[in-house]
Amino acid sequence: MVFLSEYYGVIMVVGTANMQLVGVDLFSGAGGLSLGAELAGIDVILAVESDPFAAATYALNHHKAVIVNKDIREIKVFPDNFSLEDKKIVLFGGPPCQGFSTSNRKTNTKTNPQNWLYCEFIRIVKLVMPEWIVFENVTGFVEFASGDFLQVLIDELAKNGYKSSYEILTASDFGVPQRRSRFFLIASKSGKQISFANLTKEPSVTVSDAISDLPVLENGAVVDVLPYGASAESDYARLMRGDSEECTGHLVSKNSELVVKRYEHIRQGENWSSIPKLLMENYADCSRCHTGIYHRLRPDKPSVVIGNYRKNMLVHPWSNRGLSVREAARLQSFPDSYVFAGSIGFQQQQVGNAVPPLLAKKVFEIISKEEKAI
């Protein structure tokens, strides 16, 4: 893996008939979308990510790609030793989504500059003119600013010859043990109207299916690499393991004694409202807490949204502790061979921000099938 942050040359876009289908990932994060693309048979050859720890994670896991560790606003052209000749490009990415979230009112405004990074995605589209586009975001993107941002995206793509189709998909419908909904837009330069209707839904995967074979851990666990705690009983656990006999990511935030006492009062499926008020006195008004705060996962259901699981104090279904990095990665559908870089806080953020790879795979399979039909 090569990091390129200083040298940029000119992109040459040529005819695309009978060319190889390859991927370019913008705002790549730890690489959830890229992994989904690769699982669908698309070779990802370039990624752009400004966060150095997420870029390092990407580099550790996507050995065929060049990773540009740079703010996308600083990129005018791509590396001069990077060729797009003889390739059909799938350009994809999910601009930072915190501002589009309906639960994040502080940043949910037009004045937040982060909310305009989707325009950078459009700018790179015009620079590259890929054969296919996949734009991903939180569901709130559809209604943000009364739908203005979505309409601008569709209109700008149309001006450049792209036909767009979009849908909101829920990860738990496609083999991911998490009820996480995301917005996906697919655009075709050839004018194809893509249908999401033919996506085949899969049986539900539960939290127990996902993590019950992982090692037993304590609050504040710090040993990164461990062997498995039990045999893999579910198809999902076997899929995540592959041929691994041990894996990384068994790191757990060290919670205070007070927080652990709070955990003791929360049964599976319950949240902060089960905690005695005496233990919540440091909250000015705990009645305003989000329902996802101090939520203990149910083992017999898919997980609630992982998101910022450390900040939300998401509780392990059986133990009085938070989730380990690997447990959260399992609930996101990252395989156990996937390694996360940086301190525990950076790893948690990378996992929580990611697009579930198995959900992304379903989206990219639409494109792969269309290409095979040509």
- Phi, psi (rounded to 5 degrees) for 53: -75, -40
Q: How many CB atoms lie within 10 A of CB 131?
A: 22
Assigned token pair, 160: 């450049």
User: What is the structure's pLDDT at 284?
Assistant: 74
- State the catalytic residue, choosing from 97, 247, 286, 289: 97
Assigned token pair, 110: 């037009």
Q: Which fold has domain 2-202+355-373?
A: Rossmann fold (3.40.50)
CA distance 124 to 129: 8
> Crossing angle, helix 52-61 and helix 344-353, to 10 degrees?
70
End-to-end alpha-carbon separation of the chain, Å? 32
State pTM to two decimals: 0.90
Q: Hey, what amino acid is at 322?
A: G
User: What is the structure's pLDDT at 80?
Assistant: 58
pLDDT 10s digits, 138-192 = 999 998 767 788 999 999 999 999 999 999 999 999 999 999 999 999 999 998 8
User: What is the structure's pLDDT at 301?
Assistant: 98
> Could you say which residues of the chain have pLDDT below 50?
1-17, 100-102, 104-105, 107-109, 113
Clarify whether 97 is annotated catalytic: yes
Strands, DSSP E only, in 71-206? Answer: 87-93, 132-138, 163-170, 181-188
242 CB-contact burial (10 Å; exposed 0-12 / middle 13-18 / buried 19+): exposed
